[in-house]
Amino acid sequence: MQYNWKKWSISSRKWLWILVIVGIVAAMPVAYDRFKTETSANQVEFVFDYRDLVDIASYEAHPVDYINEQLDKLKEAGVGSMAMFESTLDEFQKSRRIMLYNSKDIANKMNQSIPVNENFTYILFTNEENARAITPVIEETYNRLEIAVKPWTFENRKGLIIETPIENAMMKPMRSDPITFDMLRSKGFNIVPRLGDSLPYDQDHMENLISDYEAAGVTRILFEGESVKGYNDQESMKSLDAFADLLNEHGMGIAAIENLKKPQLGFNKLAYDLDYNVVRIYSLSEGDANLNVQKIADRFALASKDRNIRMFYLNAAPSRDTSKAMITNSIDNLVRSLAEPGNAIERLESDGFTIGQAKAFDVAEASYQRIMKMIVVLGAIAFVSLLVSYFIPLLTIPAFVFGLIGSVGLFILRPSLFEQGLALLVAISAPTVAMVLAVRKINELNAKTNDMLLTRRFAHALVLFVKTSIISLSAIPFVVALLNSITYELVLNQFRGVSLLHFGPIALTALYVVLYRGGNLRQQLSTILRSRITVLGVIVVGIIGVLGLYYLSRTGNGGSVTSLEMSFRTFMENTFGVRPRNKEFLMAHPLLILGAFMSIKYRNAIYIMVIAVIGQLSMVDTFAHIHTPLKISLIRNLLGLGLGLVIGLVAIVVWQIAEGCWKRWSPLLRR
């Protein structure tokens, strides 16, 4: 009975492979939909933080003239938008719109006694225009907070008294400075408002504000702080829902800031309610704004091309330069990175982007996509079952059946976990199955002959490299189709298990080489368990462990990169337009070719294949970065394979020369 069951299990592999092929075909239309989505929005927007410009100008002799001069330079360089925070009394004071006093200051100015029971905020406007424009903004804000505001004059100048301490008054956010708002619009800048959620939500106020924004051409809002507008009062007022309705009514979207330590609270819900009218934004920090102009330009080019970034937020700050004995800033450096000599704008345009207000991706989702995904799921389960089959043949059919039942249950309970989990299992299965089949083929060749002609070994190595790569690449359509969601492209949802993907195929390949290559699993296990532990063995295991930890530390976005490697990456990027992965073409792919070539003659060289699997899993992992466009990922893999093939052929030539030298000179060394 066991013999028949094993026979049926092995025979079922043929049908599982057919399901895999059908799944790949079904995944293609889904992948095409994603391609259409990725290419639906190619406008790139540069946004400068206007508050930073005000801070920098406060150190200049003529701040107003300086601001106008820098705005013209930024506009000419390609900056089309200005970010405006909600104003505060402190910001109005820095902009020379008002002067602030407390009750004690006013008593001193008027030569009066300090009031015993009064601690108010006194505002004096610097001119009539400021009084006319800003008075309504201040009154509207503090009256809404139920803080009394009264008119006041001093030395024939208009002012206001806010009946709260100056420390409290200065913390209240209000509408952006209307004078600055109009001035920036007159200079041709688009406005990107930055809204916080520190004050209680007021629907009437927000409706007026959003209406005014729409009239001024605002299309996208950026949030400040830990949460989006309306989040804090959602439970009691459903304010987040109301705010989403307002934005939808006025056709306004939001921006997702890249690489935040944690997502802004309420952002994912708001994005969902807005039908994902979201654009990803990369923020160049004040420190990075002082980098070499070419490095800044490289960041802009890579972010737009490789990570679907469509907005760039430029920060700048004043700094003390003791070597020049003056206050400096990075605005000129930013201008030079966008224009000459950095030429970031020119590079973006050569990559097919246009400069303008960023637009959200138009999500393409054909009606047949749901049916195709069901077929993809069937093929993915078949692929995972194949992996089980090559290790434990008796479990092939149970693995497939259990996979079907488990998938249905998990899809009902946790659909996001289901699609990520199945994508991860397929991503692990394909390179592992590919390497297992390569090892089995080498075993077969070893059994036939130990003295194969050089040309035949060479041909077998090349064929194995191609076949193994094709099987590994077959996981990509499954990963793309299973994770085809705008939430992944906007990094609102992320693919989990990257470390497991980088470790799993290596461990499984090593397990197969060690336990299954001898043919008798029990005998191999018995031999290993009875082996003596030596100091050398412990040292080798320790070295492998350290190398493994280093390898895992390099995976994901948090991996550290040396300056030398970064320079090499830049060189490859500038040379080919898309940077192939170093570990693929410099190490893993050449090792697969060389390892296959050597293993046919030298049996123990098969252990090289354990390292070579890194290249196979890396090709799949490239497509697990969903925010990277499909076109870029495909080019990256093809470049890695092509360059790896060339280096692998060179490695074979070098090995043959070294082997010949060893055969010739080793007898002399022994003497």
Question: Quick one: pLDDT at residue 397?
Answer: 86
Q: Are 8 and 397 in contact (CB under 8 A)?
A: yes
Any idea what DSSP says for residue 87? B
Give the model confidence (pLDDT) of 511-539 as tens digits: 888 887 765 656 666 565 566 666 655 56
Give the model confidence (pLDDT) of 611-659 as tens digits: 999 999 999 999 988 889 999 999 999 999 999 999 999 999 998 888 8
Residue 337: both structure tokens together? 């990175």
125 three-state secondary structure: strand
| Residue 55 CB burial class (10 angstroms; 0-12, 13-18, ≥19) | middle
| Residue 290 CB burial class (10 angstroms; 0-12, 13-18, ≥19) | middle
Residue 501: both structure tokens together? 């993907």
Question: Quick one: pLDDT at residue 657?
Answer: 87
Q: Where does the pLDDT of residue 554 fall: very low under 50, low under 70, confident under 90, or very high at 90 and above? A: low
Q: In angstroms, what CA-CA distances link 523 with 437, 490, 516, 518?
A: 22, 51, 10, 8
Calculate what percentage of the chain has a pLDDT beyond 70. 91
What are phi and psi for residue 326, nearest 5 degrees?
-160, 165
Give the model confidence (pLDDT) of 357-370 as tens digits: 999 999 988 888 88
Q: Where does the pLDDT of residue 553 fall: very low under 50, low under 70, confident under 90, or very high at 90 and above? A: low
Over range 590-619, report the average pLDDT: 90
373 three-state secondary structure: helix
What are phi and psi for residue 256, nearest 5 degrees?
-100, 120
Residue 81: both structure tokens together? 């938008």
Over range 484-503, report the average pLDDT: 86
Q: Where does the pLDDT of residue 495 fall: very low under 50, low under 70, confident under 90, or very high at 90 and above? A: confident
**Residue tagged 């907005």 (tokens):** 311
What gap in Å lies between CA 487 and CA 494, rounded to an integer? 8
Query: What pTM, to 2 d.p., does this model score?
Result: 0.88
Q: Are 385 and 404 in contact (CB under 8 A)?
A: no
Strands 311-314 and 98-102 turn out to be unpaired
660 three-state secondary structure: helix
Strands 43-49 and 311-314 turn out to be parallel
> Which residue would you say has higher pLDDT here, 304 or 109?
304
> Which residue would you say has higher pLDDT here, 247 or 533?
247
Q: Where does the pLDDT of residue 496 fall: very low under 50, low under 70, confident under 90, or very high at 90 and above? A: confident
State the Cα torsion 492-493-497-502 to the nearest 10°.
-60
> Which residue would you say has higher pLDDT here, 259 or 536?
259
Specify the amino acid at residue 148.
A
122 three-state secondary structure: strand
Strands 220-223 and 190-195 turn out to be parallel
Q: Are 423 and 377 in contact (CB under 8 A)?
A: no
360 three-state secondary structure: coil
Specify the amino acid at residue 156.
N
Q: Where does the pLDDT of residue 493 fall: very low under 50, low under 70, confident under 90, or very high at 90 and above? A: confident
669 three-state secondary structure: helix
